Amino acid sequence: MMDSLLAPDSLSMPGLVIRATILLSAALALAWLARKGSAGVRHLLWTMTFALLLGLPVLSLLGPSWDVPILPSFGSPAPQRPSPLMEAPAVDVARDAPLTIAAPDTPLPEAGSAAVAVADPVLPPRSIPLALLLWGIGCTAALASLGVGAGRCARLVLAASPLCDPIGLRQAEAVRRRLGIRGDVRLLVSPTATTPMTGGIWRPVVLLPTSSAEWSSERWKVVLTHEMTHVCRRDVLRQFMARVVVAIYWIHPLTWLAARLAAVAREEACDEKVLVLGTRPSDYATHLLALAGGQNTERPLLSLPMGHRAHPPLEKRILAILNSHPRHRSTVAAGLVAAAISIAGMSAAVARPVRSVSADTVTAAVAARIGDTGVVDAADEYIFGDVTSVAADRQGRIYVADRISPSVRAFGPDGEFMAWIGREGEGPGEFTWPVDILPAADGTLFVRGSRITTFATSASSAYPDSVADTWSIPPYFNSDSWRARLVDGVYYYPHYRWRNEYTEFFYMKYNEGGLTSDTVHVPEMGDLSSPKTAYYRVGSSGGGRMVHGLNSAPFTPHTDWDMTGRGTIIMGDGETYRLYEFSEGGELLRTIDGPEVERRPVPRAERADSMRALEARIDSLPVPLDEVVHVAPEILRGEIPDSLPAFISIHVGASDRIWIERWPPEGMASSRQYDVLEYDGSYAGTVVVPATLLTDPPPFFGEDTIVGVVMDPTFEVHSVVSFRFRLPE
């Protein structure tokens, strides 16, 4: 079950090359160990290797993942000390009027409101990466060569006539039965063939030169045994598979070496079979030399000529025949080789190249996985619909809120279900859609939904099980993207509302008497107050329909923030790796420089994917783009930033540690990476979570625990995962 946490990376050329290298290296090592054994075993080894190489892309997508560090991480962060107070950015914490608790404004502007000027977008043309283009050219050329060879072989067959010699036909039938070949094998005489050869993948055919009419009975027997052995072993199909592999992996030099060694093993295996069936080595060598003397330099690519000179060299092959003893292929040896190369192939398929991490980087380990797809019989408490919040208390108990099945569930540190807290409904201790969980140090549990409910722990319970208080909340939009805070017994409830063309973010404060008249505003910085959703108007009533993904261009930095346990706000605009801390009154207290300030370029593949997705979203609009309100100017200009944001998000965890999510390095896309700063601004280390945690709901960060939500890629249901970590000393 844990392998589903690791989503495989999308297939890439470097990834396939590395996987092919693992498999080919293992095959070469096994071939060297079996060099003195049966050639049939070696040929089986290469056949399985080519089959696994063809299946690598599919196995890589369907199989689990195994991280293989191959490169050192770049830009390793160095510990930072608290930065001195610096000049604050332009912020605005003042408001024209005091905040009043009233119904929110409508999310869509009324008719006649100002709209962003729009124009037809000029999207940059799609480009094919140079490496992919070169590979495509080479692959096309190799496949074309294979097609030419197949056509040349087909022309030889069409120009040939059936063998009419009764003696040769009787000998061929006797050899076919002795080798156990069930189907028919066509024997044809070709006026252009200069040596015996076998062709045909599904309908085997043996081509004989016109000079075969003058052969002795012994040569007929040797030739037919050799060619029928190729038919029995399906060598033409094996050769075709090898040529396809070479065409696909032509850029890898080990592929060419493997194809050459496979051709050598194929002919040696055929020679072994002929000798085992009773042919004297000296007679066999004599016939091979005679047949090779009249060979034409041109040969069909999809046929197996008996006296071919190149693979292996004829002289070496003759010496091997004369100095060999008849070998029977060992079933045990073949089984061991097949098992070994299968293990190597599966290891190569699940190998995922990643950058090795530096000494101050730790990888969190999975401590518990909670959730089930629901496709088999499972207890209801382990099936989630839409998880809206996760948290953990100081005892390690995990709390999960679900919107589809309105509930809060408590689990032990090992993921075992403990109890349901509250239930669906409208009364005290009941929920319609819980969206935030806040465990307090004294054991109480705050749950935010259509109201704020406090659960206390009774003397006979190990978890919060009784309703202690409830507070009503105003009818603004209730978001689960920001966590509530408890500061000196005061509950800070994150909220937002639309004011005309911008969004206002603030915290409302609750104490024992309920809602107070005091609020804490989030200072405006960067794109904080910009419209969060684009929309187009529907009908004449002024209503609108939201369009996601057009209000901001991909890879655009965004302002993010979180509240500390001191009631201050940590925030940054994403343009730089610099954070700002503000007091409740909006006063700038200090700035904090993160451990990495240089922004990385957007990867070419991700940039191209984003452009295609953006084009598809625009093409799917039922109205022209210039009728959509709040489209980002960058999208109108067809632009995407050249560099990644300095950071993705900010979270404040236990002990007021600051968790800064960064864009993962190349090769680690199926993970989450967080730089951890102590509250004083010093760098504590980097934690890598080996799973694609969802950002909504946000993860929970404890002293040594991270709890997050993952999406099952097949059934699209949620699971909750708990991770353990230990920061470097």
Q: What is the mean pLDDT of residues 632-650?
A: 86
Which letter does DSSP use for residue 458 in this model? -
**Number of CB atoms found within 10 A of residue 161's CB:** 10
pLDDT at 348: 59
pLDDT at 116: 30
Looking at the structure, tell me whether residues 45 and 146 fall in a common domain: yes
Between 100-114, 297-311, 387-401, 578-592, the lowest mean confidence (pLDDT) is in 100-114
Place of tokens 């603030």: 506
In this model, does residue 128 exceed pLDDT 90?
Answer: no
pLDDT at 102: 35
Looking at the structure, tell me whether residues 483 and 598 fall in a common domain: no
Q: What is the mean pLDDT of residues 252-274?
A: 86
Contact 590, 665 (CB under 8 A): no
pLDDT at 76: 38
Distance CA 627, CA 538 (A): 11
In this model, does residue 78 exceed pLDDT 50?
Answer: no
Residue 414's CATH number: 2.120.10.30
Torsion of CA 37, 39, 43, 49, to 10 degrees: 20
Q: 706 lies in a domain?
A: no
Q: What is the mean pLDDT of residues 369-379?
A: 71
Q: DSSP string spanning 592-644?
A: EE-S--PPPBPPHHHHHHHHHHHHHHHHT-SS-GGGEET--HHHHTT---SB-
**Closest to 245 measured CA to CA, from 54, 525, 501, 446:** 54
Q: 446 lies in a domain?
A: yes
Confidence band for 414, pLDDT divided at 50, 70 and 90: very high
Contact 685, 361 (CB under 8 A): yes
Looking at the structure, tell me whether residues 537 and 495 fall in a common domain: no
Q: How many folded domains does the chain comprise?
A: 3
Q: What is the sign, positive or negative, of the torsion defined by CA atoms of 514, 519, 520, 522?
A: positive
Condensed to tens digits (0 to 9), the pLDDT of residues 266-300 reads 888 888 888 888 777 777 777 677 776 655 444 44
Distance CA 720, CA 1 (A): 12
Per the DSSP assignment, residues forming a β-bridge with 466 are 456
Looking at the structure, tell me whether residues 449 and 303 fall in a common domain: no
Amino acid, single-letter form, for residue 604:
R
Among 521, 538, 559, the domain boundary falls at 521
Contact 431, 408 (CB under 8 A): yes
**Closest to 707 measured CA to CA, from 721, 690, 695:** 721
Looking at the structure, tell me whether residues 516 and 625 fall in a common domain: no
User: What's the predicted TM-score (pTM) here?
Assistant: 0.57
Residue 605 — left, alpha, or beta (φ > 0 → left; ψ -120 to 50 → alpha)?
alpha
Count how many residues are written for the chain: 729
Looking at the structure, tell me whether residues 196 and 345 fall in a common domain: yes
Terminal CA-to-CA distance of the chain, rounded, Å?
32
In this model, does residue 85 exceed pLDDT 70?
Answer: no
Contact 685, 692 (CB under 8 A): no
Looking at the structure, tell me whether residues 495 and 431 fall in a common domain: yes
pLDDT at 475: 67
Distance CA 549, CA 427 (A): 38
Tell which wins on pLDDT, 542 or 699.
699
Confidence band for 380, pLDDT divided at 50, 70 and 90: confident
Which letter does DSSP use for residue 106 in this model? P
Q: Taking all residues of the chain, what is their mean pLDDT, rounded to a whole number?
A: 78
Q: Any residues with CB less than 8 A from the CB of 87 and at least 6 apart, and which?
A: none
Condensed to tens digits (0 to 9), the pLDDT of residues 494-514 reads 888 776 667 788 999 998 888
Tokens for 650? 């900010």
Write out the H or E segment, with its range, that includes residue 491: strand 490-499
Pairing of strands 66-72, 351-356: parallel
**Number of CB atoms found within 10 A of residue 189's CB:** 20
Looking at the structure, tell me whether residues 190 and 61 fall in a common domain: yes
Confidence band for 391, pLDDT divided at 50, 70 and 90: very high
Write out the H or E segment, with its range, that includes residue 651: strand 649-652
Contact 349, 56 (CB under 8 A): yes
Distance CA 320, CA 326 (A): 11
Among 521, 540, 570, the domain boundary falls at 521
pLDDT at 664: 85
Condensed to tens digits (0 to 9), the pLDDT of residues 418-445 reads 999 988 888 888 888 888 999 998 889 9
Distance CA 366, CA 690 (A): 9
pLDDT at 520: 92
Tell me the percentage of the chain whose pLDDT exceeds 70: 76
**Closest to 646 measured CA to CA, from 69, 75, 8, 124:** 75
Contact 492, 486 (CB under 8 A): yes
Condensed to tens digits (0 to 9), the pLDDT of residues 642-692 reads 889 999 999 999 999 999 999 888 777 789 999 999 999 999 999 999 999
Structural domain for 186, as ranges: 2-70+131-351
Q: 718 lies in a domain?
A: no
In this model, does residue 21 exceed pLDDT 80?
Answer: yes
Give the residue ranges of DSSP H helices in 313-378.
Answer: 314-323, 331-350
Contact 328, 276 (CB under 8 A): yes
In this model, does residue 493 exceed pLDDT 80?
Answer: yes
Q: What is the mean pLDDT of residues 225-234?
A: 85
Q: 125 lies in a domain?
A: no
Tell which wins on pLDDT, 646 or 374.
646
In this model, does residue 714 exceed pLDDT 80?
Answer: no
Amino acid, single-letter form, for residue 515:
L
Tokens for 516? 């107070």
Tokens for 429? 């201790």
Q: What is the mean pLDDT of residues 377-385?
A: 80
In this model, does residue 124 exceed pLDDT 70?
Answer: no
Looking at the structure, tell me whether residues 514 and 532 fall in a common domain: no
pLDDT at 425: 83
pLDDT at 485: 93
Looking at the structure, tell me whether residues 198 and 335 fall in a common domain: yes
**Number of CB atoms found within 10 A of residue 520's CB:** 23
Confidence band for 367, pLDDT divided at 50, 70 and 90: very high
Amino acid, single-letter form, for residue 56:
L
Q: 728 lies in a domain?
A: no
Q: What is the mean pLDDT of residues 357-361?
A: 70
Tokens for 381? 């408490």
Pairing of strands 186-190, 205-209: parallel
pLDDT at 726: 93
Distance CA 565, CA 658 (A): 11
Distance CA 386, CA 400 (A): 10
Q: 704 lies in a domain?
A: no
pLDDT at 409: 93
Looking at the structure, tell me whether residues 259 and 278 fall in a common domain: yes
pLDDT at 358: 60
pLDDT at 176: 82
In this model, does residue 695 exceed pLDDT 70?
Answer: yes
pLDDT at 572: 93
Looking at the structure, tell me whether residues 464 and 529 fall in a common domain: no
In this model, does residue 84 exceed pLDDT 70?
Answer: no
Which letter does DSSP use for residue 537 in this model? E
Q: 89 lies in a domain?
A: no
Condensed to tens digits (0 to 9), the pLDDT of residues 202-218 reads 888 888 888 877 788 88
Give the residue ranges of DSSP H helices in 452-592.
Answer: none
Give the three-class secondary structure for 40: helix
Q: 126 lies in a domain?
A: no
**Closest to 357 measured CA to CA, from 722, 662, 665:** 665
Condensed to tens digits (0 to 9), the pLDDT of residues 566-609 reads 999 999 998 888 999 999 999 999 999 877 667 788 888 788 88
Among 469, 491, 521, the domain boundary falls at 521
pLDDT at 7: 35
